[in-house]
Structures are given as C-alpha cells and as structure tokens.
Amino acid sequence: MKFRKNLKFSTSGVRGIVGESLTPLLTCSLAAAYGRYVGGGRVLVGRDTRPSGEMIENAVVAGLLSVGCQPLLLGVVPTPTVQVMIVESGANGGIVVTASHNPAEWNALKLIGAEGTFLTENEYAELSDIYNQEDFHFCGEELLRKVKYIANGFKIHQDKIFNSIDIEDIRKRRFKVAVDCCNGVGAVYSRGFLEALGCEVFTVFDRADGNFERIPEPLPENLDALCELVIREKCDIGFAQDPDGDRLSVVDNNGVALPTHYSLMMAAEHILSENPGTIVVNIQTTKNLEDIASSYGCGVEYAKVGEINVVRKMIEIGSEFGGEGNCGGVIWRRIHPGRDSFTTMALMLEMLSLCSESIAEIAATLDHYVNKSVKFYCSPFNSREIIRSLQERYSGEEQLTFDGLRINFEHGWVLVRQSNTEPVLRLTVENSSSELADQQLQRFTSEITELKNQLESEINV
C-alpha cells in the first residue's frame, strides 16, 4: 500500500502527526478518495475533542463535497455513535476524526463502511488505488451538495443501548460511579448517560478540550486519579475511557485498577448467562474467556488482532458477542458491530444490579491465569523466519497460525507475533501459575534469542 507522506496505516484508520504527516491538504485528498470509494451519497462525519479536530473535520468535509458526497456532521461524538448512525441513517459510510489513544499531537481518520464496520485490508487496498492515482473526478457546481448537521446522534445511540438492558433494575440500585473521561468525548456524554441510569456520578479529567492530562490509553498504570476518586467518594465502580469512547477499563470498589481484559471477561460472563452462544476474541485474549464460555456450554472462536478482524469473524459465524481482551474492547452486535465504552458501562452496571457481590468480589472469581510478555527488536524478515522455525519445532502441539504463532498447552498458551506497526517480535505467555509462566517465558525467550542471533550472524557473513 502506497499511502503517501509517511502516514501510519492500519485497519482502524490512517494516522499522522498534525502539520507533519497529516496535513489539511492530504486529509482533503484522502476524504475525496474515500468519497469516490463509497460511490458518493451520504457520509457521516464525527470527531473527538482534540484541538486539531475541527481543522481536520473541515478538510474532510471539503474532500467529500468535492466528489459529490453529502456530509452529515455529528460533531463531537464517540466513535461507536458514528458506527450506530451509519446503519440507522442508511448512509454509505462514515469518517471519524480521532487518533484514539495516541497523544494529542496525532490525529487520524477512522474509515467506516455502510455496515458500520471499519474497512478491511482489502478495502483499504482499493481505496489506496484511488488515492495514489488521484482518481477523484471532482464535480462541478451543479453536483455540489449541502452539508447537513445531526444533533441527536448520541441520543439515538444511547436509546439503542437502554432498549437492550434492564434500566429499571440499574436505577433501583442508585450506584455511585466514578468516570475518568480523559478530556475526550466522555467529558461530553458520560455524566448524562450514567445519570439517566440513576447513578450518582463523580468525574475526573472531564473537560472536553482534548488536552490529555494522563496518558490517553486506559491502562491500569495510567488511572491513579480515578483510583483515588473511587476511594475518596466510596464509589461502587470506576470507569476509564479513551479519547474517542470505544475502549473501557474498570476500577473496582477498592480503588484497584483491573487489567484491561477484565472488561471483556465480566461482560462475557453477564451476556452468556442470559444469552449463551459462541463468542469471538482475538488471538491475544486470555484463556479465561474459554473457561467462562465453557461454563455455559459455549465455545470460543479466535480471530486476528484488530477490531475489524474480530467483527468479520463474528459476522461470518453469526456470533453476537466478542471483543479484544488486550485493549478493553467489548463488542455486542445487538447495539452495533464495534467496540463501545458506553455499551460496556451499561453491561457492567446491569451485571452489578442483578447480584449482591461487589465488583471486586466478582473480579476475584474470574482470573485464573498469569500473563507475561517481552518484545524483541527484529526485522520483519527475521520475525517471519523465527516464527516459521518455532512452528516446525512445536509441530506436535496444537497451533493457531493465522496471526503469528499461538501454541496451546494444557494449562495455557504461548503467542509469538510480529507487530503491525513497528519492527518488533512480541512473545506473550499465559499459564495457570506465575512459576509456570516464568518457565515458559524463559524457555521461549532463550529459543527466540538463539534463532535471532543465528539469523543476524548469517546476514553479517
């Protein structure tokens, strides 16, 4: 793929540093190419709260108008709201101006198709051809369309969530909830969303200005302020969002930030208890999901890392629930086919409303494995060769090979996978005890280091 100006490309969008690799001119051209790709018509546009968002949004609108599209502007909304509204409005697609959990100097275009799902690798390849060939076919005045503004996008999204859960059970409990909005879209919508569920809400980083006061990725180590807020206000639960509102992490009632996969584990436990069925997760997801699914007589299917890969697998097999445990991403297709922090908050509260246990007590029953990882700086070629060698060496074990190499053992698994965004080979191990995990980590680290040194010595000969 030949996207110019050294942009960072993935199936979740095209990213760059504003004013350097992501400029208004380039954005306008990319939006025009996207407008041609979807065949014109109506295209939803939303953005997060980053200071560069309005400028990039205007460039997107200009690009769409130039090829005969009608932009439908949602303003500052969560990414999942755009996904919901594409389907609800019958639009041909959508563009979200957000760099998700990247630092504030970054921005990006998340490109979404008519089904409300991100574009696949093959679809991006088609878009790339239009973009690189500058095959835009700009239209004249007679074909220019008017911009339309939509003010109730999030309300439609919220209503769809509320119609899928028992809101009265939640309201009866009058939960005390703390939210870290990361000064993103959650600062606009989370308080009202939770108050509509009868919650008493306490917030931190709740200015919708896009000036991130913590590292935007909602990892446990970045949530000290939320943990302190939960303890100070004696909250039942704490929620941490990323800037565009698709990912969610949880802090328990003791002020302990739970690992990111707990959001998916708890949501899966709750969903499967009411609606059993096969779930889909990415290849990096904890084995706990298999145990949870098995307890309800259900199975787990694995997909490549990346939201669209999980979603496509869900659609393929007719699964209603899935996600990416490594990033706090929960996908419930009843709402829309994508990650959604607002849906996840509602599911967590519904789960709490139906039991007497605290979130800390529930969490303590779910995680039975130890997960550890290490990375090796390694060229893509050497990474592929190392994976190939390990695949042959462990050919007698159960393997998944569609995204790196995952080797399943009796009490856990090992994943060796090449990064999509940097020259890194990642080794992840999971086992039923810290001792076993350490043993596997040491063993595979030694084997990978040996193979890496051998390959590098051959190059230097």
Q: What is the pLDDT of residue 117?
A: 97
Per-residue pLDDT of 255-307, as tens digits, reads: 999 999 999 999 999 999 999 999 999 999 999 999 999 999 999 999 999 99
Distance separating alpha carbons of residues 449 and 458, to the nearest angstrom:
14
Distance separating alpha carbons of residues 230 and 422, to the nearest angstrom:
36
Longest dimension (CA), the chain: 72
Cβ density class 229-245: b for 16+ within 10 Å, e for less: bbbeeebbbbbbbbbbb
Residues of the chain with pLDDT under 50: 1, 5
Phi/psi at 307 (nearest 5 deg)?
A: -55, -45
**Which one-letter DSSP state was computed for residue 209?**
T
The tokens describing 328, both together, are: 């706090």
The tokens describing 346, both together, are: 């509602």
Using DSSP's 3-state secondary structure scheme, residue 5 falls into: coil
CB 283, CB 302: distance < 8 Å: yes
Taken in order of first residue, the domains within the chain and their CATH numbers are: 8-151 (3.40.120.10), 156-364 (3.40.120.10), 370-460 (3.30.310.50)
Per-residue pLDDT of 74-101, as tens digits, reads: 999 999 999 999 999 999 999 999 999 8
The tokens describing 439, both together, are: 């043993």
CB 277, CB 291: distance < 8 Å: no
Percent of the chain past pLDDT 90, that is, above it, reads 89
pTM of the model: 0.94
> How does DSSP assign 106-159, residue by residue?
EEEEEEE-TTS-BPPHHHHHHHHHHHHTT------GGG----EE-S-HHHHHHH
- Contacts of residue 6, defined as CB under 8 A and 6 or more positions apart, other chains included, come to 16, 21
Average pLDDT taken over every residue of the chain: 95
Using DSSP's 3-state secondary structure scheme, residue 282 falls into: strand
Q: What is the pLDDT of residue 13?
A: 84
Cα 292 to its chain centre, rounded Å, is 22
CB 237, CB 352: distance < 8 Å: yes
Per-residue pLDDT of 154-190, as tens digits, reads: 999 999 999 999 999 999 999 999 999 999 999 999 9
- Residue recorded with tokens 């350097």: 20
Distance separating alpha carbons of residues 13 and 29, to the nearest angstrom:
15
Phi/psi at 168 (nearest 5 deg)?
A: -70, -40
- Nearest CA to 207 out of 178, 168, 180 is that of 180
Q: What is the pLDDT of residue 7?
A: 59
Active site members: 100
